[in-house]
Structure 1
Amino acid sequence: MMNPVSEPIVKDLVLVGGGHSHAIALRMLGMQPLSGVRITLLTEASDTPYSGMLPGHIAGFYSHDECHIDLRPLAQFAQAQLYLDRVVGLDLPNKRVICAHRPPVAFDVVSIDIGSTPTIPDIARALESSIPVKPIRRFLDHWDQLIEQVVENPEKPICIGIIGGGAGGVELSLAVQRHLHKVLRRSQQPPENLSLHLFQRGTVLMPGYSRWVSDRFYKILAQRGIHLHLGETVTEVQAHQVRCESGLTVACDYTFWVTQAAAPNWVKASGLATDAQGFIGVDENLRSLSHPFVFAAGDIATVKNHPRPKAGVFAVRQGKPLFENLRRTLSGQPLKPYIPQKRYLSLIGTSEDSDSNQHNAAIASWGSLGYEAPWLWQLKDAIDRRFMERFSQLPEMMQQPASTLTAQLQPESNSKIQNLMRCGGCGAKVGSSVLERVLQRIQQEYPQPSDRADILIGLDAPDDAAVLQIPADRVLVQTIDYFRSLINDPFVFGQISANHCLSDIFAMGAVPQSALALATVPYALEAKVEETLYQLLSGALKALHQAGAALIGGHTTEGAELAFGLSCNGLAERDRLLRKTGTQPGQVLILTKALGTGALFAADMQRRAKGRWIDAAVESMLQSNQAAAECLMQHQASACTDITGFGLLGHLAEMTQASQVAVEVKLEAIPLLAGARTVVEQGIVSSLQPQNLRAALKVQNWSKVSDRPESALLFDPQTSGGLLAAVPAERASDCISALQLLGYWQSRAIGGVLPSTSSPEPITIEL
Structure 2
Amino acid sequence: MGARRAVGFANTALMQTPMPITKDLVLVGGGHTHALLLRRWGMRPLAGARLTVVNPGPTAPYTGMLPGHIAGHYSEDDLSIDLIKLCRFAGARIISGAVTSLDPQARQLHMPDRPPIAYDIASINVGITSNLPDLPGFQEHGVGAKPLGRFATKWREFLLSDQPREIAVIGGGVGGVELALAMAHACKGSAKVTLIERAALLPGISDAARDTILRKLRDYDVTWEEGKEVAKVTDRAVYLSDGAAIPARFVVGAAGATPHEWLSQIGLAHQAGFLSVDENLRTSDPNIYAAGDCAALPAPRPKAGVFAVREAPILYHNLRVALSDRGQFRPFKPQKRYLKLISLGAKSAVADRRGGGLHGPWVWRWKDWIDRRFMNKLTKLPEMTAVSLPRERTADLAEALGPKPMCGGCGAKVGQDALSASIGGLASGARSDVTHLPGDDAAILTNGGSQIVITTDHLRSVTEDPWLMGKIAANHALGDIWAMGAVPQAALATVILPRLSENLQRRWLDEIMQGAQEVIHAAGAEIVGGHTSQGTEMTIGFSLTGLMDRPAITLAGARPGDCLILTKPIGSGTILAAEMQMKARGNWVLGCLDLMVQPQGEAAKCLAEAHAMTDVTGFGLAGHLMNICEASGVGAELNVGSIPVMEDALELARQGVRSSLFAQNAATRAKMTAVSSAQTDLLFDPQTSGGLLAAMPAEMAADAITTLRKAGYHAALIGQIIQGPAHIIAHAP
Counterpart-to-counterpart distance in 2, 1:507 and 1:523? 35
Q: Is residue 242–residue 250 contact of structure 1 (8 Å, CA) maintained in 2? A: yes
Distance, in Å, in 2 between the alignment partners of 1:75 and 1:486 is: 14
Cα contact 2:607–2:704 (8 A) shared by 1: yes
Determine the C-alpha separation between the residues in 2 that align with 1:25 and 1:672: 35
Residue 485 of structure 2 aligns to a residue whose secondary structure is coil
Of the candidates 177, 197, 207, which is equivalent to residue 194 of structure 2? 197
Tell me what 1:747 maps to.
Answer: 715
Specify the alignment match of 1:115 in structure 2. 127
1:160 counterpart (162, 167, 184): 167
CA offsets 1:39-69 (integer angstroms, 9 cap, x no match): 1111111111111111111222112222111
Partner of 1:338: 332
Cα distance in structure 2, aligned partners of 1:229 and 1:737: 56
Q: CA deviation at 1:730?
A: 3.5
In structure 1, runs of 5+ residues without a counterpart are: 182-190, 353-359, 401-468
Is 1:372 the counterpart of 2:341? The answer is no
Match runs of 1:212-231 below 5 Å: 212-231=208-227
Separation (CA, whole Å) in 2 of partners of 1:145 and 1:505: 45
Asked whether the 8 Å contact 1:222–1:228 carries over to 2, the reply is no
1:392 counterpart residue number: 379
CA distance in 2, matches of 1:584, 1:226: 71
1:113–1:298 contact (8 Å) kept in structure 2: yes
- Conserved in 2, the CA contact under 8 Å of 1:515 and 1:569? yes
Residues 628-647 of structure 1 correspond to what in structure 2 (within 5 A)? 628-633=603-608, 636-647=609-620
CA contact (8 A) 2:132 2:138 kept: no
Structure 1 CA distance for aligned equivalents of residues 37 and 257 of structure 2:
24
Question: What amino acid maps onto 1:278 in structure 2?
Answer: G
3-state SS of 1:54 partner: helix
1:244 correspondence with 2:213: no
- Give the AA of the match of 1:748: A
Q: Which amino acid aligns with 2:330?
A: K
In structure 1, the residue matched to 2:517 is 541
**Corresponding residue for residue 688 of structure 2:** 719
Residue aligned with 2:617, SS: coil
Paired position in structure 2 for 1:487: 463
Shift of 1:127: 4.0
Shift of 1:554: 0.4
Give yes or no for contact 1:85–1:101 (8 Å, CA) kept in 2. Answer: no
Partners of 1:470 and 1:398 lie apart in 2 by 53
Alignment counterpart, residue 254 of structure 2, candidates 258, 261, 268: 258
Q: Distance in 1 between matches of 2:462 and 2:541?
A: 13
Q: Post-superposition shift, 1:344?
A: 0.7
Quote the residue 1:608 is aligned against.
583
Tell me if the contact between 2:131 and 2:143 (Cα under 8 Å) persists in the aligned partners.
Answer: no
Cα distance between partner residues in 1 of 2:46 and 2:122:
15
**Distance in 2 separating the partners of 1:349 and 1:41:** 32
SS in 2 for 1:283: coil
State the distance in 2 between where 1:2 and 1:737 align. 48
Is the aligned partner of 1:555 residue 2:536? no
SS in 2 for 1:520: strand
SS across alignment from 1:313: helix
Q: CA RMSD in A?
A: 2.2
Tell me the residue number matched to 2:407: none
> Which residue of structure 1 aligns with residue 701 of structure 2?
732
Q: Is the 8 A contact 1:640 1:723 kept in 2?
A: yes
| Contact 2:138–2:233 (8 Å) recurs in 1 | no
| C-alpha separation in 1, matches of 2:245 and 2:610 | 61
Aligned to 2:274: 279
CA distance in 2, matches of 1:302, 1:397: 37
Secondary structure, in 3 states, of the residue corresponding to 1:87?
Answer: coil
* Equivalent position of 1:404 in the other structure: none
Is 1:350 the counterpart of 2:347? The answer is no
* Identical columns (%): 42
**Residues 496, 621 of structure 1: 8 Å contact kept:** yes
SS for the counterpart of 1:261 is coil
1:526: Cα distance to partner? 0.5
- Tell me: CA distance 1:591–1:123, structure 2 relative to 1, closer, same or farther (3 Å): farther
One-letter identity of the residue aligned with 2:680: S
How has the CA–CA distance of structure 1 residues 9 and 714 changed in structure 2, closer, same or farther, with 3 Å as cutoff? same
Change (3 A) 1:630 1:557: same
Partners of 1:565 and 1:494 in 2: how far apart? 9
Give the Cα–Cα distance (whole angstroms) in 2 for the partners of residues 728 and 119 of structure 1: 54
Shift of 1:762: 4.0
Q: Indicate if the aligned counterparts of 1:130 and 1:254 stay in contact, CA closer than 8 A.
A: yes
Aligned amino acid, residue 353 of structure 2: W
Question: What secondary structure sits across from 1:574 in the alignment?
Answer: coil
Distance 1:595 1:119, change over 3 A: closer
For normalisation by structure 1, the TM-score amounts to 0.83
Distance 1:348 1:629, change over 3 A: same
SS at match of 1:341: coil
Q: Is the CA contact (8 Å cut-off) linking 2:169 and 2:176 kept in structure 1?
A: yes
**8 Å contact kept, 1:53–1:62:** yes
Decide whether the 8 Å contact of 1:625 with 1:722 is kept in 2.
yes
| Partner residue in 2 for 1:454 | none
Kindly provide the CA deviation profile for residues 146-168 of structure 1, in whole angstroms up to 9, marking residues without a partner as x. 34x43xx4xx4342222111111
Amino acid at match of 1:321: I
Normalising by structure 2, what TM-score?
0.87
CA distance in 2 between partners of 1:470 and 1:520 (Å): 32
CA deviations on 1:347-402 (whole Å, 9 max, x unpaired) are 111122xxxxxxx11111114221211111001111111111111121257999xx
Q: Give the alignment of 1:222-621 within 5 angstroms.
A: 222-275=218-271, 277-288=272-283, 290-304=284-298, 306-332=299-325, 333-352=327-346, 360-396=347-383, 474-575=450-551, 577-621=552-596
* Structure 2 unpaired stretches of 5+: 1-5, 388-444
Instruction: Give the CA deviation at 1:592.
Output: 1.2
Q: Whole-Å Cα distance in 1 between the matches of residues 711 and 156 of structure 2?
A: 26
How far apart are 1:274 and its partner, in Å? 0.6
Q: Helix, strand or coil: the match of 2:19? A: coil
Structure 1 window deviating more from structure 2 (636-645 vs 134-143): it is 134-143
Moved more, 590-599 or 95-104: 95-104
1:404-451 residue CA offsets vs partner (Å, 9 max, x unmatched): xxxxxxxxxxxxxxxxxxxxxxxxxxxxxxxxxxxxxxxxxxxxxxxx
Aligned to 2:623: 650
1:697 paired with 2:700, answer no
| Secondary structure of residue in 1 paired with 2:721 | strand
What amino acid does structure 2 have at the position aligned with 1:618? L
Deviations 1:177-211 (A, max 9, x none): 33343xxxxxxxxx53x432222212x22111122
What is residue 410 of structure 1 aligned with on the other side? none
Distance in 1 (CA, whole Å) between partners of 2:646 and 2:113 is 24
Count of residues paired in the alignment: 663
SS of structure 2 residue aligned to 1:668: helix
CA change 1:503–1:144 in 2 (3 A) is farther
Paired amino acid for 2:634: V
The alignment partner of 1:749 has SS state of strand
- SS at the partner of 2:94? strand
Distance across 2 between alignment mates of 1:16 and 1:395 = 25
1:417 matched residue in structure 2: none
Amino acid of the structure 2 residue aligned with 1:63: S
Q: Structure 1 residues 265, 472: closer, same or farther in 2, change over 3 A?
A: farther
- More displaced stretch, 123-132 vs 657-666: 123-132
Measure the CA separation in 1 of the matches of 2:508 and 2:153.
Answer: 34
CA apart distance, 1:126:
7.2
Q: Which residue is equivalent to 1:171?
A: 178
Answer whether contact 1:119 1:261 (CA < 8 A) is retained. Answer: no
Deviation of the 1:28 alpha carbon: 0.7
Aligned to 2:402: none
Return the alpha-carbon distance in structure 2 between the equivalents of residues 124 and 141 of structure 1: 22
Q: Pick closer, same or farther for the CA change 1:223–1:524 going to 2, 3 Å.
A: same
CA distance in 2, matches of 1:79, 1:559: 18
Question: Take 2:65 and 2:309, find their aligned partners in 1: how far apart are those partners?
Answer: 13
In structure 1, how many angstroms separate the alpha carbons of the residues matched to 2:195 and 2:314? Answer: 38
Amino acid paired to 2:356: L
Q: Is the 8 A contact 1:56 1:62 kept in 2?
A: yes
Equivalent residue of 1:684, what SS?
A: coil
